[in-house]
Amino acid sequence: MTSSPSPRRPSRSRVESFRFAFSGIWYALRTQPNTQIHAVVTVGLLALAAWLGLSRAEWAILALTIGLVWVAELLNTALEALMDLVSPDIHPLARVAKDVSAAAVLITAIIAVAVGLLLLGPPLWAKLLGH
């Protein structure tokens, strides 16, 4: 008995694995308005951090925080696509899965704002006041 071929074979190389990953990022950027907002905010924060001259430790905290938000957003996008696939009709549990996933993104974004204010607020305030 032969099984039907899977739509996508396992990765043959690391390069192909990276291509799939970048394809997922590109999909989210093209189709998800919130991901587009995260991209704009990320670029703005990186420019602001460079202008403020953050320390290496501050850069590390900022990078981890931005990464956390991106991971949450990408997982949310993946879960929403999966729910749409397995439950094309509106189902209460599919709604719960989507809502909880969106809540995870919201919580990471709130944490990111707090971290951003703690990291960037004081040096930005000092620069604006000329200290």
Token pair for 11: 């990765």
Instruction: Give the span between the Cα atoms of 40 and 43, in whole angstroms.
Output: 5
Q: In which element (H, E) is residue 40 found?
A: helix 33-52
Domain spanning 14-129 has what CATH number? 1.10.287.3610
Residues marked as catalytic: 73
Confidence at residue 131, expressed as pLDDT on a 0 to 100 scale? 72
Confidence at residue 98, expressed as pLDDT on a 0 to 100 scale? 95
Output the CA–CA distances (angstroms, integers) from residue 76 to 58, 82, 97, 116, 128, in the order listed: 27, 10, 9, 22, 37
Instruction: Give the span between the Cα atoms of 38 and 34, in whole angstroms.
Output: 6
Ordered by start, the domain boundaries in the chain are: 14-129
Per-residue pLDDT tens listing for the chain (131 residues): 455 555 666 547 888 899 999 999 999 999 999 999 999 999 999 999 999 999 999 999 999 999 999 999 999 999 999 999 999 888 999 999 999 999 999 999 999 999 999 999 999 999 998 87
